[in-house]
Amino acid sequence: MKNIHNLLEIPNINSKDAKLKELIYDIDDSLFNKDNYSKEKFEHLCICSGGTTSSCAKNGFTTLDLRKNYTKIHLDRESNLVTIGGGVIMGDLINHLQKHNRSFPIGLSKLPGAGYILTGGVSPLSRAYGLAIDNIESIKGFLGNGTFISLKKNQINPEKQLIWEAIKGAAPFFSIITEIELQTFQSNPIKVIEGFVNLDELSEIIQLSELFPENISLQWIYAQKIYLYIFAELKNNFEDKRTEESLMPLDKFPSLEKKFYENFNKINFFPKKLNLYELNANNHSEVISLLGEDLKSDLPIFIKCLKEIMKDKPNNSCYVASQQLGCKTKKLNHGSSFFVHRKSTWKPWIYASWKKNDHQEKEVALEWLYKSWCNLKRFYPNIHLAQLHNHLNSHEEELTLAFGNRMNELKTLKNIFDPQGILPPL
């Protein structure tokens, strides 16, 4: 078991600035030795697969960094299944797949690691191919008590079925996943319609989007201005004709530009001209992700609420954004994962940021985040737990709203397979 006392070089500034107790790169027998693997030694063990979350490192805690020794990527050309290590970041995954004209539904950012997959995985491609967890074929890793686990879809004993379902959506609470096998998909050209819009235009486009076919999705962000992407995968002549018909109403918006990309891998979402602050080394931040169904007749009230939220934001680093789900994500794998909110159409998120070490500004920014969340609950009552907030007061409520009627099952798995509570707490 190698370790080093060091700062963690990762995208999330909060975690990057943490003063670690210990940094571990290997999982072997010595890690789970009872003298090493104990509550007294770790308190909680933070896991880093890509480093985009504020929970991958904390002051005085130990981090297990999978990015150094668990970065294997192998595509089986016969089955088109890809096997990746738990430390593979999504940009490296689709770069590798693109060499073979294959793709996978990664998110808007190429920076997250396997945690993106294991907590659900929402992509512009999700409406056509499901969530990232819907495309898991097998996993390997360790339960929180040190027991090695290897599970393969359609070859799971009944006593392992609950573990398999919980891995898909709640893995970080009771397991350390070191290897994942995934379905891949034919890589197709992409048409993107993007640009700045005003609130009235956003409202009209959201209304249009709730009738989009599965190969089209809407992503928008409201920072200092509103920027949006309509994302359309081009597959064949019949679907392309339907796609053009669906996109035709967007011709009336003069500020929107049409762009064509050879494949999903070529797209970089949220350009620098938006002046976003995620990678500002002077800022710390938190983000909370929500889930809800079609807005339909609630759309005018939502737009009014969004306007009020943005009017009250404490600084220009704070924003609200949203991704579109639906179609395949509503149909696939009901009951077979811990992503329980399958009726969801929208995944908005609220991003709050402040100058690091400015405790007063932090308090104001987090208060804005909580207030904004409360105001949006009527439209988006549930949580997508893409970030773990056990350091925030909202953690318990987020868990309840994320896992719903499966919360008691998750607590049971936690008690059995992480009895010391070394992995992130419930």
Q: State percent of the chain over pLDDT 70.
A: 95
Which residues is 284 bridged to in the sheet?
354
Number of domains the chain contains? 2
pLDDT score for 354: 94
Domain extent, residue 204, equals 197-237+274-404
Strand partners, 142: 148, 176
Among residues 46, 69, 92, the one where a domain terminates is 69
Run of H or E residues at 206: helix 199-209
DSSP-based three-state secondary structure for 283: strand
State residue 5's pLDDT score: 45
Alpha-carbon distance of 383 to 173, in angstroms, equals 16
pLDDT bin (cut points 50, 70, 90) of residue 281 is: confident
Lowest model confidence (mean pLDDT) among 265-269, 298-302, 353-357: 265-269
Mean pLDDT of the chain: 92
Instruction: Give the rounded percent of residues in the chain with a pLDDT score beyond 90.
Output: 76
Domain-ending residue, one of 43, 69, 95: 69
**pLDDT tens by residue, 179-221:** 999 999 999 999 999 999 999 999 999 999 999 999 999 999 9
CA–CA distance, 213 with 231 (Å, rounded to integer) = 11
Residues 66-85 as b/e (b if ≥16 CB within 10 A, e otherwise) read bbebbeeeebeeeeebbbbb
In contact, 179 and 85? CB cutoff 8 Å: yes
Q: Is residue 334 pLDDT above 80, yes or no?
A: no
399 lies in some domain:
yes
Q: Is residue 123 part of a domain?
A: no
User: Does 57 lie in the same domain as 202?
Assistant: no
172 in any annotated domain: no
Asked if residues 263 and 245 have their Cβ atoms less than 8 Å apart, the reply is no
Cα separation, 141 vs 175, whole angstroms: 7
271 contacts: CB under 8 Å, gap ≥ 6: none
d(CA 73, CA 190): 25
| Least confident residue range of 176-180, 274-278, 297-301 | 274-278
Average pLDDT over residues 322-337: 87
pLDDT given for residue 68 in this prediction: 93
Final residue before a domain boundary, out of 35, 69, 103: 69
Please check the confidence at residue 1 and state whether its pLDDT lies above 50: no
What pLDDT does 2 receive? 46
Q: Residues near 35 by Cβ (< 8 Å), separated by ≥ 6?
A: none
CA nearest 145: which of 24, 33, 40, 57? Answer: 33
Query: Tell me, what's the pLDDT at 333?
Result: 67
Average pLDDT over every residue of 327-352? 91
Does 388 map to a domain?
yes
The residues near 411 (Cβ < 8 Å, ≥ 6 apart) are 426
* Residue 163 maps to a domain: no
Residue 374 lies in a domain: yes
Top pLDDT among 224 and 2 is at: 224
The pLDDT of residue 3: 45
Q: Considering the domain boundaries, does residue 176 fall inside one?
A: no
237 vs 348, residue with greater confidence: 348
Cβ atoms of 118 and 317 within 8 Å: the answer is no
pLDDT at residue 7 greater than cutoff 70: no
Q: Contact, 371 vs 387, CB < 8 A?
A: no
Element (H, E) at 183: strand 175-183
Is it the case that residue 4 has pLDDT exceeding 70? Answer: no
Q: Mean pLDDT across the stretch 13-35?
A: 86
- Mean pLDDT of the 73-83 span: 97
Assess if residue 2 is contained within a domain: yes
* The predicted structure's pLDDT at residue 38: 81
What interhelical angle do 395-403 and 407-417 show, nearest 10? 110
Residue 278 has pLDDT above 80, yes or no: no
% helix, strand, coil for the chain, step of 5: 35, 25, 45
Can you read off the two tokens belonging to residue 152?
A: 């393969």
Is a pLDDT exceeding 90 seen at residue 6?
no
